[in-house]
Structure 1
Amino acid sequence: ILIRAQEVMIKALEKGGTSFDDLYIDVNGEGGYFENELNAYGREGERCYRCDLEMVREAFSNNRSSTICPNCQPRITPHR
């Protein structure tokens, strides 16, 4: 996991990071373009790249949500 995380971080830095608004720009005023590489963020209603199922937005806590593929990222029920 650590090796893959490092690879993703290096790739993100090479592409200037993600710039979801005008606050995240470099010294030349340019935004990053790593968001084009994201597999789930902001893709609600689009097809999953892996299994072709429709991506859905799922709420989790304090009015927060995340876009997921219900097939590739199934909800894990905590053991009690």
Structure 2
Amino acid sequence: MPDFEALIRHQQIQQPTTNQRLKVVDSPNVEEKKEETIIKQSGLLVNFFGGFIGSVIGTLSILFLYINEYLPIDLLKLK
């Protein structure tokens, strides 16, 4: 069996230097980040109000169908 400690030491010695492994990249502009957060926040508001309006419409349609006896809901029989 090979000596694993020796193999690990050999790999650590032959690793490239930090300058060769790491690459420096420019950070995105601060203005672009602000625009992204505004877009994300407006999307959240649209999703919230869209979901709320959808739930109200769904509840009202179920109540309408129940009142007009198109949708019989017998809650006492569900025991």
Structure with the larger strand share: 1
Bin of the TM-score, shorter chain as denominator length: under 0.3
Greater relative contact order: 1 or 2 (C-alpha under 8 angstroms, separation 6 or more)?
Answer: 1
Higher helix share: 2
With structure 2 as the length reference, what TM-score do the two structures score? Answer: 0.23
